[in-house]
């Protein structure tokens, strides 16, 4: 029988679809030992893909280094990526696939706090660990805490705390809070308001634009009308870029000083010089001057040709810490033992000492306030560290979003 063109096309299309679906995006290596799999339900498409790229970059570097040294417990690390499209329901579905089909015991790489809250809630049932290296919502280690969730990164309230401590010394008195309308944005604004009021300053307005807002004009008008001296911004990457672009056109920064909950390289690259002088907190500024970090930045730049952004650094730290904990526990299969080994353990991070609290699984770590500055050594603006606070000062009381 002769194959018609139509049959051929149909067959080829089906084959292509099967190829695309059948093989997860992993590189297999010829190891004798069974690999330790880490599942990453992250965002690889749409405007939050910039964060998924950071997760991938960090894992690629760490994976290459640890596997060259013989892996963990003699087993190689294997990273399995899934695209959640920044949707909590999809994140849960993809995480479930990773747990049930791929048999992972460790999840990480969730981008939005709303995704992390959804996935974390399922972890006790699945008996797997979710390690956050990005998610900021305070609730994750407070109201919504469960013992399968660990947070390596600085949380939203911790960033707000560092900024509030910094602002307590400044002559500015009146502030406006603008946060994206989801867990992290609302949480951060609430936390900032509380702390800045405690510092005897005034919050003259708050607002919550939806995620993905294209036109911030009416919010900018509102901020201007409030006669605030500073505006606290908790907007995720692309929203923050758009807000800045428009605020500059309206001349807002001349009247109201912008203060960012997270001041990222991504924003500085996307906006260039107009961003110069902006102040914000940073969870990991790549300019931090420790021997370990200097070396990391060099290796990272060698591999990827760019300087590490906030989540490159924090994800790398998470993966390294997790590997050390697995090594210490002596098992990558008994999740309970890994949890016990992690609790109350210490780790030397890129920017200083980390400590994993047993009571709420929040990593105590230094907090930074940084400013975007020009430096002829770099092709873009860089975060200059204005002040760093020790972990005890910027980490909230156990299982709360309150500070001592």
* Residues of the shown chain interacting with another protein in the complex, contacts defined by CB under 8 A: 45-50, 52-53, 181, 207-210, 212, 214-215, 217-219, 221-222, 225, 238, 241-242, 245-246, 249-251, 266, 269-272
Answer yes or no: are the C-beta atoms of 149 and 141 closer than 8 Å: yes
Q: In angstroms, give the least distance from the CB of 221 to another protein.
A: 6
Q: In angstroms, give the least distance from the CB of 48 to another protein.
A: 8
Please identify, using beta-carbon distances, which residue of 280 and 349 lies nearer to another protein. 280
Please identify, using beta-carbon distances, which residue of 175 and 342 lies nearer to another protein. 175
Rounded CA Rg of the chain: 22
Q: In angstroms, give the least distance from the CB of 318 to another protein.
A: 20
What is the β-pairing status of strands 174-179 and 202-207?
parallel
Please identify, using beta-carbon distances, which residue of 85 and 352 lies nearer to another protein. 85
Distance CA 93, CA 166 (A): 41
Per-position DSSP letters for 88-114, written without gaps between them: HHHHHHHHHHHHHTS--SEEE---SHH
Answer yes or no: are the C-beta atoms of 355 and 364 closer than 8 Å: yes
Q: In angstroms, give the least distance from the CB of 251 to another protein.
A: 6
Q: In angstroms, give the least distance from the CB of 55 to another protein.
A: 11
Distance CA 165, CA 356 (A): 23
Q: In angstroms, give the least distance from the CB of 189 to another protein.
A: 13
Name the token pair of 185: 């944005």
Q: Kindly tell me the burial class for residue 4, based on how many C-beta atoms sit within 10 Å of its own C-beta (0-12, 13-18, 19 or more).
A: exposed
Please identify, using beta-carbon distances, which residue of 269 and 399 lies nearer to another protein. 269
Compute CA distances 302 → 292, 306, 311, whole Å: 16, 8, 18
Please identify, using beta-carbon distances, which residue of 357 and 380 lies nearer to another protein. 380
Please identify, using beta-carbon distances, which residue of 49 and 259 lies nearer to another protein. 49
């Amino acid at each position: 029988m002769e194959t018609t063109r139509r049959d051929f096309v149909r067959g080829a299309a089906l084959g292509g679809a099967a190829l695309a679906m059948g093989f997860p995006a992993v590189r297999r290596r010829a190891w004798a030992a069974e690999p330790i799999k880490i599942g990453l339900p992250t965002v690889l498409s749409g405007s939050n893909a910039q964060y998924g790229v950071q997760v991938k970059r960090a894992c690629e570097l760490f994976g290459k280094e640890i596997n060259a040294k013989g892996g963990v417990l003699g087993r190689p690390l294997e990273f399995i990526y899934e695209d959640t499209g920044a949707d909590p329901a999809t994140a849960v579905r993809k995480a479930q696939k990773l747990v049930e089909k791929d048999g992972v015991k460790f999840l990480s790489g969730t981008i939005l706090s709303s995704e992390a809250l959804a996935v974390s809630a399922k972890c006790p049932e699945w008996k797997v660990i979710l390690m956050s290296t990005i998610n900021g919502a305070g609730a994750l280690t407070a109201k919504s805490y469960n013992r399968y969730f660990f947070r390596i990164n600085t949380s939203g309230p911790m960033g707000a705390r560092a900024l509030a401590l910094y602002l307590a010394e400044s002559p500015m008195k009146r502030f406006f809070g603008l946060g994206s309308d989801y867990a992290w944005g609302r949480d951060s604004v609430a936390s900032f308001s509380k702390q800045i009021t405690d510092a005897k300053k005034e919050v003259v307005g708050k607002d919550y634009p939806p995620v993905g807002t294209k036109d911030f004009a009416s919010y900018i008008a509102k901020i201007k009308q409030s006669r605030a001296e500073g505006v606290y911004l908790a907007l995720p990457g692309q929203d923050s870029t758009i807000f800045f672009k428009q605020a500059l056109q309206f001349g807002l920064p001349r009247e109201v000083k912008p203060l960012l909950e997270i001041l990222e390289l991504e924003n500085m690259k996307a906006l260039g010089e107009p961003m110069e002088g902006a102040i914000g907190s940073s969870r990991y500024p790549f300019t931090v001057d420790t021997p370990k970090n200097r070396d990391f930045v060099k290796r990272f730049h060698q591999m990827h040709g760019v300087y590490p952004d906030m989540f490159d650094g924090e994800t790398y730290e998470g993966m390294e810490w997790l590997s050390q904990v697995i090594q210490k526990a002596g098992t990558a299969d008994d999740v309970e033992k890994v949890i016990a080994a992690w609790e109350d353990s210490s780790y030397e991070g890129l920017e200083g000492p980390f400590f994993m609290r047993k009571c709420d699984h929040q990593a105590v770590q230094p907090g930074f306030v940084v400013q975007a500055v020009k430096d002829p050594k770099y092709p873009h603006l860089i975060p200059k560290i204005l002040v760093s606070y020790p972990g005890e000062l910027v980490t909230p009381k156990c299982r709360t979003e309150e500070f001592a």
